[in-house]
Structures are given as C-alpha cells and as structure tokens.
Structure 1
C-alpha cells in the first residue's frame, strides 16, 4: 500500500460517489453532492480523503472522513458543530488498521473549525461508527425515539401484512384475517383520542411562501428556553429545508394577531407517512404545541396520508409529553429488553463530543437539556 491523504479537491466527487455507492448502496448525482457538501449554509463541508496509489487509476480512493457544518445554540450562545456523515472505508481495507489513524488525524484538524461534534447513527454496522468515535472522546449520549399517529387504516393494514408475511408461513387467509383484526383495533385506538380545539390562526405554507426571517426572530426570542439545540438561522433553514433536493417541505405556521408564535416543518414520504422535521413554539406554550400537532393530524387525514411521525432524542421530555398528550405512541428502535445494561447503553446512536471551548456550566452533558428534532439530520430521503 502507498497511502496518501489530503483534503477534498473539485472533481473528487466522482470517486467519492463511487465509493459511497459501494459502501452504502446509495446513488448520488452531482447536484445532490454539491448541495450536501459544497454549497452548505457555511460553505464547503470538511472532507479529508485517503488514497492508495498502488491501486488502478480512478479506483484509488479508499477512505473518507467528513463533517457537515451544523449551527448549534447552547442556551443562546452560538457554536459551530461538525456532523459526521459519509465517513467510510473501502471494504478491501477494513480491519487493516488504516481508517482510525486517518479519522483521528482529521478530527484533530477539524477541531480548529468546530467546537462540537456529533454522530446520529453510531449504532450502524454493529456499532462500528460509535466505537471509533468513543476512542476519540465522544460520549454515547442518547438514543432516538419515534412518535407515531396512524391516520389511515389501510396504511397500518399494509404494514402489518408485510411484517406478518415474514413470520407466518402457509395459510394466507389467516394472515389477512389477523391483519384486518389488528389494524382495525389499532386504528380504533387512535380514533378514540378526541382532537383539541384550535383557537389560533394556523396556516399551511409552501417553502417559498414562508418567511424564514419570522422563524429566525421567533427562535432568537426563545433560544435560551430550548437549551442545547440547532441554531435556527435563516441561512441554515434555507439550505437544509428549502434548498433540499431530496424532500419537498411544507410549513404549518401558528399566528397570534399576525405574529408567528409557532411552526411545524414536515414532508410527505413516498410511503404516505408525514415526517415532522422540526417543531417549535413561543415560550414552550403547550396549548400552541397541541394546536399545531392537531392541525397536522387533520391535514394528514385530509391528504389521505397513512401516518404522522416525529423523531427526537429519548430524553426530550417536552416533546415526549406533547406527542403522548395528543395521542401518539412511541417506540425506541435501538433499545431492547436488555437496554439498561452497560453494553447496550454504549450502543446509543447519538454520540457527542464537546470541546473545552464550550462553557459546560449549564450541564451541557445532561441529555434532558437537549431539544433535538430531525432538523439535525442529513436531510436525505427516508
């Protein structure tokens, strides 16, 4: 092996996308790469590459360490975070001891630009990403929790039948009967929850109709209330939401006498599930939270969507309270029966590193102080 490392240069994306396809089995074109890595809200992302010059020309890229710049607010103070994304190693070089030194060296260089670092999927590929990050000083911080509300009986029936067919062999009539019975019971459970009255003016806005300046003003007035969270600047929202090539987002905006007092950002996936990207209200007002959530449920039913889902960290007590209050059920995709053992606790997919330049007097390492939604994630198709 004749290994060489350097930062990204224009034109590398062809080989990067080729390796990405090999490792993740995901196709990505030039414009999608440019959106994610070249034209971010904070300029180009941080990308460091490793090549083996003994390989054939055009097939020399063997490893990548990369960070997406992400604006963070820590009790109102702005910091720049680096989100590990698309860090990868060619299958031929795994287990040969070349990747970790590459990431470690790149990470130390990246600390000159970023003050916080995080990984959203440290439990992937048997926990390998999380294990690498913890060697660098990351903490296995928290796990994801999904809140789901079923709005269409046919949606849950189709999902159940797909799952049951994996485990029940033979009589398809029994599977159909069982699917029909369970789906009706599940749908009846959600239908039992009465919706709350909506008193405020709530309007549906397309991404080119909403005022990002209004959202930023609302955030500036409330960012100390939300502890550790994404810094909702106009530039970040325009890049992450409005310019996103993968998803067409919409906004539900709540107003009081013409002033924005809360919003939900969402999109509808191909499977007809509506995904909540972000939700935020003035002064954490629970009435406004509930009205926005109920308005989204009504919208989902009107559109014939199958379900509504919001993802957050498991220690986000505010969102847990608000979604459960409004009839959502929750499940944690990473925890099992033995979730309280130290081994499983280390598999928490959300890993964080906080540098010494960040003031930790407000207990930044308590996950209950973090308000995180899918706004923090990469923004790729679900």
Structure 2
C-alpha cells in the first residue's frame, strides 16, 4: 500500500499473507512488511495512518491476525498503537570455518589459516563420527513435492506456526525469481523425516547460510540432531563459514541445537520483537502469546538474512 502526496510517495506498508496453524485451526494471517515513511514526513502520523489502513484492508480480505517482527525503530510506535508483544525472537548460530574470526583477533593471515585448518578438520571429523548412520541426506536445488508428506505427518505436533505445506514452500522458494535456495532432505528408510531450506549469502565479508526453513518432528531429538548435522555437513562441503537457524522455543529444537555446536547470537537480530493485532474472533491473543508456543524460522517475514 502506497501513500502519496500528489505524485510523491510519502509512505508504504505491505501485508504478506500466509496460512497460520494454531492448535489445529488453519487461519489467515499476514506479516506486516516493508513499513517505511519518507524522512521529510516523520512525526506527522503517517506510520499510524499506513498501519491502520493495512489492518482495515486485511480485515476486508479475511485476515484473522496481522503479525510482524518489529525493529528498534518501529517497535515503540507499535507499542503506542496498542499492539501486544508476543515474544522476543532468538536466533542460533554455528561457526563452521573460523579463518575470518581468527584474522580479526590475531591479525596474522597465515596463523589464522593454520588455526582454521586445525579447528575445521577436528570438527568435521567429530561431525562424521557423530552422524546417524541410518539417516541419509539429499541436497536439491528445488523444494520437492514430497515435503508435503513430512508436513502432514508432523503438523499436528505443533501449536503455532505458519503452514509449511508444499503449496506455501513452492510459492515462497521455488517461484521466487531473485534468490536460489538449497533444500536438504533428511531420510530414514527412504522416508522424509525432516527438511531444511537454505539461503546462501555473504554477510560482513563471510560466506554463510541462513536456514530459512528447518522442520521435523519437534519432539524427536534424534531427528532434530540429524537435520542440524546434515546442514552442518553441507556447510563444510561448500566452504561456508557459519549457519544461522531460528526455530522458536516450541519442542526440543533449542536444547538440541545448543547441545550440538550452536549458540545464541551475541546480539539479537534486528527484527526481533514479535507483535500482533488480532482482527477476528477465530483466534485469541492468549493462543498466540509466548515464544514457547511458536515454531518460527528465518523465512518468516523479512528476517531471511536478518543477522
């Protein structure tokens, strides 16, 4: 939605519609994205006007709840508008190659490279010894239709998350024209028991990947660990320096990741405050409140490369 003064755009706001799975119900939600006000029009109520317009239009289109991951600039405004805070999002990172980290600390390139070689060789061998021999991995350039079976199998074990069915994943990743994604499938007895979708990029001079999707049985520590190790193996094979994963607090994800080489990022992501505006009676704020209820990934909203 654009707000204009004559031919000049002075504000914009967008709604990204998704199906939201809440305690067995499938609702229509919309992420509030790309909210901006022209700098010459600050503190004139433009942001509030755009936000109210988006919610009214969403209500007309059948949206049950508008959600957003607010940054430090927009969050105080949403608080003034009365939008409740659902939780503060956490993100986890695992270092794979540490040459750049060592260069920043010891300033000598050859020593940094030597230290990285020793570290990465040790960690890669440790990973190989740890990996589940019965679970196999397949790396694809597209999201296959078979992920629907994985979604159907495990969705009832979750409380709150965006629907990760093939319809959504195909639209969100296969059909996006400007970014190439990698899909890592975890299989047990030729059956998909989990999948991760990766967005490779360069951030702060480091080659990295963001796990925009990371999905398996939320209560199965074996499957979560295996999926994390499959992603780590992909990173070693492709010389990526680190991997970023966001999962929410639901299930065993956080504990398993933190016990397998991941750590909470030292600084929170830029868009870290999860807010909501409930528009219909099909869902209550109580059902949505709390990070422990949510499975939320880097692919949600505008957080794909939010580091």
Alignment of 1:165-184 (within 5 A): 175-176=107-108, 180=112
Q: CA offsets per residue over residues 324-353 of structure 1, 9 Å max, x none?
A: 121112125339xxxxxxxxxxx9522122
Query: Is 1:151–1:187's contact at 8 Å kept on the other side of the alignment?
Result: no
Residue 88 in structure 1 maps to residue 36 in structure 2: yes
TM-score when normalising by structure 2: 0.84
Distance 1:364 1:261 in 2: 27
- Map of 1:23 onto structure 2: none
Q: TM-score, normalised by structure 1?
A: 0.69
**2:245 counterpart residue number:** 310
Higher strand proportion: 2
Number of equivalences: 299
CA distance in 2, matches of 1:139, 1:102: 18
CA deviation after TM superposition for structure 1 residue 381, in Å: 5.9
Return closer, same or farther for 1:246/1:124 CA change in 2, 3 Å cut-off: farther
Contact 2:154 2:217 in 1 (8 A): yes
Structure 1 counterpart of 2:231, from 266, 291, 296:
296
Supply the distance in 1 between the matched residues of 2:149 and 2:81 (Cα, whole angstroms): 37
**Residue among 249, 252, 256 paired with 1:322:** 256
Q: Tell me which residue corresponds to 1:155.
A: 100
CA contact (8 A) 2:99 2:112 kept: no
Q: Aligned match of 2:275 in 336, 351, 356? A: 351
Stretches of structure 1 that go unaligned for 5 or more consecutive residues are: 1-47, 54-58, 165-173, 336-346
292 and 238 in structure 1: CA distance in 2 versus 1, 3 angstrom threshold: same
Contact 2:92 2:244 in 1 (8 A): yes
Larger Rg over CA atoms: 1
Partner of 1:269: 201
**What per-residue deviation string (whole Å, max 9, x for no partner) do you get for residues 65-122 of structure 1?**
22111221112321111111112111111112333134224322322321121111x1
Of structures 1 and 2, the one scoring higher in RCO (CA 8 A, sep 6+) is 2
In structure 1, distance between residues paired with 2:216 and 2:46: 47
Q: Report the Cα offset of residue 235 of structure 1.
A: 2.1
Q: Secondary structure at the match of 2:252?
A: helix
RMSD of Structure 2 on Structure 1 (CA) = 3.2
Gaps in structure 2 of 5+ consecutive residues:
none
Distance 1:354 1:199, change over 3 A: farther
Query: Counterparts of 1:274 and 1:238 in 2: how far apart (Å)?
Result: 20
Pairing 1:64–2:8 present = no
Match of 2:168 in 1: 236
